[in-house]
């Protein structure tokens, strides 16, 4: 069927995307319930679409939390620009690890204390406080969801050591959790792959080169909760114990899993 050569990885990725839409049409009954994405349909925007279908080496794996964050940012009336991100990143670096409470966050954003701002604070789930660097990373991610390397560079500018330019493993994991929309990022496989001793630190340039050389960086060198790698194994039983309606969030995860499994089969 394919002659003497296999189709390119891009062709397989396109096929996975087509399968995603087939699953969407086959299993998602109209009308789409508001709760499927966790936000009212009336509040969805073009930015939400870009977040949901982001591209690039660090594309968003699970957009649900970032969609909610984007909705809250719009309700706050914040207008994100490159200049605003740079200004906030510079101020966040000066705060270092200082945790901000609700009043501090309002002061940082030049906003009054409101229920919407309380929801923003609770979204980061840090016991009534927030590491403002996490907020800036989330802002950058929803502003340019398919330009993840720019967000990664911004994260390094806030975290890196002034002398060495290095970022610690746990800080990088925290940034990637926000950018990918996932939990419990584990970087041990990645640092074991790096040349030389495992120092648990890395510079932006070294990480950028590694990602450029390994386009499937997220799939092959990261681990996190609900990683698509774990979905490629055959199920223990032929039939599930019970059927549950499929959600948009689950279908997006299916698309990611299909891409990973198809690309893995090409190796």
- The pLDDT tens digits of the residues spanning 63-91 come to 999 999 999 999 999 999 999 999 999 99
Q: How high is the pLDDT of residue 46?
A: 80
Pairing outcome for strands 99-100 and 130-131: antiparallel
Residue 182 shares a structural domain with residue 117: yes
Q: How many domains does the chain have?
A: 2
Residue 60 shares a structural domain with residue 122: yes
Residue 105 shares a structural domain with residue 204: yes
Its domain, for residue 170, covers: 29-230
Q: How high is the pLDDT of residue 230?
A: 64
Q: Which of 40-49, 95-104, 172-181 has the lowest mean pLDDT?
A: 40-49
Decide if 238 is inside a domain.
no
Q: How high is the pLDDT of residue 34?
A: 41
Q: How high is the pLDDT of residue 235?
A: 46
Residue 145 shares a structural domain with residue 226: yes
What's the CA angle centered on 259, arms 257 and 265, to 5 degrees?
100
Integer Cα distance of 96 and 40 in angstroms = 36
Residue 1 shares a structural domain with residue 99: no
Residue 17 shares a structural domain with residue 34: no
Q: How high is the pLDDT of residue 185?
A: 92
> Closest Cα partner for 15 from 255, 265, 264?
255
Residue 34 shares a structural domain with residue 154: yes
Q: Is the pLDDT of residue 30 over 80?
A: no
What's the CA angle centered on 92, arms 89 and 97, to 5 degrees?
140
Tokens 């966040």: give the residue.
92
Residue 108 shares a structural domain with residue 139: yes
Decide if 235 is inside a domain.
no
Say what the pTM is.
0.73
Q: How high is the pLDDT of residue 162?
A: 87
SS3 201: strand
Decide if 134 is inside a domain.
yes
Name the pLDDT band for 192 (thresholds 50, 70, 90): confident
- Residue 261 token pair: 């499994």
């Amino acid at each position: 069927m394919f002659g003497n050569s296999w189709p390119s990885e891009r062709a397989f990725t396109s096929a996975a995307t087509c399968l995603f839409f087939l699953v969407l049409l086959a299993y998602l009954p109209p009308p789409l319930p508001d709760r499927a994405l966790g936000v009212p349909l009336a509040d969805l925007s073009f930015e939400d679409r870009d977040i949901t279908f982001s591209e690039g080496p660090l594309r968003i794996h699970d957009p649900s939390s970032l969609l909610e964050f984007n909705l809250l940012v719009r309700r706050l009336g914040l207008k994100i620009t490159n200049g605003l991100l740079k200004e906030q990143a510079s101020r966040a670096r000066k705060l270092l690890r200082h945790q901000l409470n609700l009043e501090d966050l309002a002061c940082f954003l030049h906003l009054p204390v409101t229920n919407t701002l309380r929801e923003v604070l609770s979204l980061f789930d840090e016991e009534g406080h927030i590491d403002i660097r996490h907020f800036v990373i989330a802002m950058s991610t929803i502003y340019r969801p398919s330009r993840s390397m720019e967000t990664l560079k911004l994260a390094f500018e806030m975290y890196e050591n002034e002398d060495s330019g290095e970022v610690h493993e746990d800080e990088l994991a925290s940034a990637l959790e926000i950018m990918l929309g996932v939990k419990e990022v584990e970087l041990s496989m990645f640092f074991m792959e790096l040349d030389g001793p495992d120092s648990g630190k890395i510079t932006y340039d070294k990480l950028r080169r590694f990602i450029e050389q390994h386009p499937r960086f997220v799939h092959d060198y990261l681990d996190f909760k609900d990683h698509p790698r774990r979905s490629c194994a055959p199920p223990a039983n032929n039939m599930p114990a019970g059927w549950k309606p499929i959600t948009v969030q689950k279908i997006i995860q299916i698309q990611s899993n299909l891409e990973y499994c198809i690309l893995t089969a090409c190796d």
